Structure 1
Amino acid sequence: MKKLTTLLILSSIFIGNAQTTQKPKLVIGIVVDQMRYDYLQRFKDKFGSKGFNKIIKNGTTFENAHFNYIPTYTAVGHTSIYTGTTPKNHGIIGNNWYDKYEKKSIYVVDDENYETVGSTTNEGKKSPKRLIASTVADQLKLAQNFKGKVIGVAVKDRSSILPVGHAADIAYWFDGGKVGNWVTSTYYTKELPNWVNLYNTTNKVKLDEYLAAPWTTKKNIEDYSESIRDHNHYEGVFHGEEKPIFPHDLATLKEKNGGYSLLKTTPFGNTMTLDFAKEIVKNENLGKNKDYSDFLAISISCTDYIGHKYGAASKETEDAYIRLNNDIDDFISYLNRKVGKNNYVLFVTADHAVVQIPNYLMDNKIPGGYFSANDFIVKLNEFTKEKYQSTNLIENYSNEQIFLNHNEIAKLGLNLEVVENTIINEIVTYNYVYRAVSAHTMQKSEFTQAPISLLQEGYNQKRSGDILIAFEPAVISDHYIKTGTTHGSGYNYDTHIPILFYGANISKGKIVKKPVNITQIAPTLSNILQIQEPNMSSHDILTEVFEKETE
């Protein structure tokens, strides 16, 4: 019988009409920190029929999904996914940035108004106060009159706090060092639930087991043909290690590498996160309320730590994804048992991807390089001294942005816009600077071509600098010149990530040609949950998630 494709768009269902699709009891977001889309292809055979391949086979896969702004950093990525908009609107312009009003560098979720819950350290002095926009989790709370539960969990504080927004019931993150606890902030609660206190106590045995055994490859290392050789000069080492090779003796390395914090740079930190997520589902009865939907935002943080240290081509990265694939498969099986496979929707994406280690690229005749911020500032100050007889015009340089000293410019009787353009004309002659654009230009013009269009989407008038810079491809800070790599650009290696949907009433299929943006996830989730989209969100829904084939 000929198959007919029927497009079911939940947003077309008006209040009072019969609803053809019941909203899920639980939505789970899994954001894998620093996951490139090509990992799904490179490691496909190693995944077997489990985990990622199971989701791809039984759900909707968007193969041409990208971030649509610069900078591609962790806090920015998580925020953009769940708010459905870019930094120009939601206000999160970095993990850290220079506050031009307070005249100091700030960390995105730091908040001295709150205290740690779960340990005696300062790791819990956090809140989402710098997030301007609402998230899909906030909108779910509003739509259900604050019924239903919204919970975030991640090793990184910013990756747990920002996705669930302002109205979450609670967000948990990992306090390593000598503590080894899941903690939170008094922003959410004055004390941890009893079950979390008990879990923290009993879980120490498991954490100690992880650190007592060496990190060896899950499969035979000789079969890791998708990676470069294990012993090479591109990768970083733990303190106390001489070579970046397997096995990594975690028991020996623990003391010199932050105690329990060592788990962050191993695959076992990801296992630990998903194990705790299972406990959240069980103890908070997520997906069990017949009248309201729950939301669980999970971030897999340790892939980022591993990627920074060892790079995208390393055997450590391959092993981390093989192990993560098994962990995700186990988590899906758990959801099927505890929640029911027809009662939840799960999506998987990433907060950014990553560039191959530039030294590795250059050794293979592919362009790349290392940019020295110190040399840049010295040279720029020499220019402003010669041009304006002042070395005080540059107030701050960070995140590839220049913040000018407006008081000094006024004191010298200079025109701010003229100074911006003069400096831009100078720095575009420097090595590795590809493009530069001023704040005034951002405010006056609308750009459609990358990289300027991506810089514009990342430019926030209130928080960003006076001049924004885009480097040439595969150029990163010289902080990594010896080993390792990073991310942050608008090039494909940093922007191309997976978007996968799976679960109740989700269509099966691969969307290959259609380009999609990360900001389309939040309005799609809002549609699935039958709620108002976040207040600054894109309106562009991933309609393929709802396409059904009928006989």
Structure 2
Amino acid sequence: MKNINLILVLSLILAVNMTFGQRKGRKTSEPQPQSKQIAQSPKLVVGIIVDQMRYDYLTRFWNHYGEGGFKRLVNEGFNCKNHHFNYAPTKTGPGHASVYTGTTPAAHGIISNDWYDKVQDKEVYCASDESYATVGTNSDAGKMSPHRMLTTTVTDQLRLHTQQKGKVIAVALKDRGAILPGGHSANAAYWFEGGDSGQWISSTYYMQNLPQWVTDFNESDRVEAYKKPWTTLKDIALYQESGLDNNVYESLFEDETTPTFPHSTPNLLAKERDFEILKYTPYGNSITVDFALEALQNENLGTDGITDFLAISFSSTDYIGHKFGVNSKEVQDAYLRLDVDLQRLLNQLDQKVGVGQYTVFLTADHGAVNVPAYLKNQKIPAGYLNVARMQSKFLEFVKYQYGTTDVIKHFSASQVFLDHKIIANLDMDLKKVQEEIALELLDYEGINETYTAYQLWQNEYTEGIPHLLQNGWNQKRSGDVLLVPKPGFIDYPITGSTHGSPMIYDTHVPLLLYGKGIKKGSTVARTEIPDIAPTIAALLGIGFPNGTTGEPIAEVLD
């Protein structure tokens, strides 16, 4: 009996072991779960801002673009068709800062290109800094830094995340177009000094001397080679998407009698002086690409496993738009030539960094209004503000109402700055003074709306013009009364286009994303400028800029 029991026990143990072995064998033959990738690691991120690019420049000139520039970004990347600035004023300094900080002037503090500083009692420039000296020239053009920008940028966050190993280089013709995207901790920011210099320069904020490759570029004849007539890329008869070449809505180059192609004034052709004029031609964008590619090569960007960042701003499109206007053949030619330069840039990224190894985004710092004189001739409501007459009438009102004009400290950038100390000394109520002034200015010709600082302080607007003004209004830096012109009305000469308003022609700009970690597709859902930085940060798996108010665009990320 004992033997039978022993046999039964041994049989049971053998059966259990066989079953366990079979289960164990099946388990090891099943596919093992792969670890999830929670962030992308492109070798290089390239941020591109096209100064004064309306969204409809993509669609208007689409049939003229080649396959390797704008069309490549759209067809192989992601197109946000309903992309907007969610604040005003829509200007270059705030635009570049907002793209890279992921927030609005209310938080990052760059409320305009220039503004009245209430503490220093003077006008200040968004990037000026007397604490630093120019590198690369003897002028004051390099006394610059990002110190007026109050928050971090996505480029700063990349530097912090990689323990300063990820390199950040920023390039633009305009100083603010390089300095603000580069953030506070960029390895270098370079901008182009025109005038008699025609050289790329920097600031002691970044370096004490230019790298040898920059010096070599400056000493070459690369820039001088662009001192040539500006002719159209294609037969001008094909440019049916723009107005007449000879019209009264455009400005002239020096020595010109008509604003027509070819632009070949003596200054444009001179080899010894006046490089400033190159900014007003598409050649300024070509010079920018030339220099950016030198930076790509000589700074070894995108050559290892740590993500680098190249920030590029194309400024010539803004200069050309201001001079010739939205509907000009010059603007059309500028974008066709920029398309060629974009193809050249992308091809070099393919070669130097590798196809599928980099990520690109392209957007703008603001749009632009069509020339109001042209709109009026098309029976569309538009016009010009007579600011001198407005100020004279306004000061008469202030003198009559308060007995002194000393209550006004400054009037600029569609804002009135009051002297709070004098108002307090006169025992007046600040809120009431703001309201009285706002009501007075609302009656002026060309003004559509006015808002007071008290309104923006006390209320939270979620839509419409007041929402955009509130996002652009900084409590410590902005004025007491804000003015909004009628749609199509501007404070500008009667030739050329400008920008700055909360109107849709100034807010609607492109956003194209392409490359590693980016889906192919498009959306007509509203996206906003502050969404760009957190989208790139989410893709990279790095911290968001510390003032971020935007949201990652989920549809974009692969």
Q: TM-score range by the shorter chain?
A: over 0.9
Distance (whole Å) between structure 2 residues aligned to residue 351 and residue 99 of structure 1:
23
2:309 maps to a residue whose letter is F
The match for 1:490 is 502
Q: In 1, Cα distance between the equivalents of 2:387 and 2:403?
A: 22
Choose from 216, 222, 225 the match for 2:231: 216
Displacement, 1:180? 1.1
Is residue 2:251 matched to residue 1:236?
Answer: yes
Q: TM-score, normalised by structure 2?
A: 0.92
Partners of 2:425 and 2:388 in 1: CA distance? 26
Cα distance, 1:376 vs structure 2 = 1.3
Does 2:493 correspond to 1:480?
Answer: yes
Contact 2:326–2:496 (8 Å) recurs in 1: no
CA contact 1:151–1:171 (8 Å) conserved in 2: yes
1:225 aligned counterpart, secondary structure? coil
Amino acid at match of 2:120: E
Query: What is the aligned partner in structure 2 of residue 185 from structure 1?
Result: 203
Partner residue, 1:148: 166
> What is residue 378 of structure 2 aligned with on the other side?
364
**Please, which of 181, 188, 198 is the counterpart of residue 163 of structure 1?**
181
Deviations along 1:308-351, whole A, 9 cap, x unmatched?
00001000000000000010011100100010012100000000
**SS of match in other structure, 1:133:** coil
**What does residue 533 of structure 2 align with?**
522
1:338 aligns with 2:362: no
Among residues 513, 535, 543, which one is paired with 2:554 in the alignment?
543
Q: Which residue of 1 aligns with 2:519?
A: 507
Contact 1:254 1:260 (8 Å CA) reproduced: no
Paired AA for residue 140 in structure 1: L
- 1:276 corresponds to which of 291, 294, 297: 291
Kindly state the Cα deviation for residue 393 of structure 1 after the two structures are TM-superposed.
Answer: 2.1
Residue 332 of structure 2 corresponds to residue 314 of structure 1: no
Task: Map residues 96-107 of structure 1 onto 2, 5 A cutoff.
Answer: 96-107=114-125
Aligned partners of 1:239 and 1:257 also within 8 Å: no
Q: Equivalent residue for 1:9?
A: none
Matched with 2:112 is 94
Quick one: which of 105, 118, 123 aligns to 2:141? 123
Counterpart for residue 6 of structure 1: none
Describe the SS at the equivalent of 2:222: helix
Instruction: State the alpha-carbon separation in 1 of the partners of residues 251 and 272 from structure 2.
Output: 13
For 1:5, the equivalent position in structure 2 comes to none
Instruction: Give the superposition deviation at 1:374.
Output: 1.4
Task: State which of 392, 410, 413 in structure 2 corresponds to 1:396.
Answer: 410
Residue aligned with 2:427, SS: coil
How many residues are aligned here? 525
Instruction: State the match for 2:223 in structure 1.
Output: 207
- For residue 360 of structure 1, what is the amino acid of its counterpart? Y
Question: 1:438-449 maps to which residues of 2 (within 5 A)?
Answer: 438-449=452-463
Residue 77 of structure 1 corresponds to which residue in structure 2? 95
For the 8 Å contact 1:310–1:484, the answer to whether it is kept is yes
CA distance in 2, matches of 1:57, 1:496: 20
Note the C-alpha offset of 1:258: 6.8
Distance, in Å, in 2 between the alignment partners of 1:343 and 1:156 is 29
User: CA shift at 1:179, angstroms?
Assistant: 1.0
Distance 1:75 1:329, change over 3 A: same
Identity %: 47
Provide the alpha-carbon RMSD of the alignment: 1.5
Give unpaired runs (5+ residues) of structure 2: 1-33
Structure 1 unpaired stretches of 5+: 1-15
Partner of residue 3, structure 1: none
Distance in structure 2 (CA, Å) of the matches to 1:308 and 1:490: 18
> What one-letter code is carried by the residue in structure 2 that aligns with 1:287?
G
Matched, 1:531 2:546: no
> Does the 8 A contact of 2:282 with 2:338 survive in 1?
yes
Shift of 1:528: 1.3
The answer as to whether partners of 2:267 and 2:273 remain within 8 angstroms in 1 is: no
CA distance in 2, matches of 1:343, 1:422: 59
Offset from partner CA, 1:50-93 (integer Å, 9 cap, x none): 31011100000000000000000000000000000000000000
For the 8 Å contact 1:148–1:289, the answer to whether it is kept is no
1:529 deviates by 1.2
Partners in 2 of 1:391 and 1:240 — Cα distance?
Answer: 44
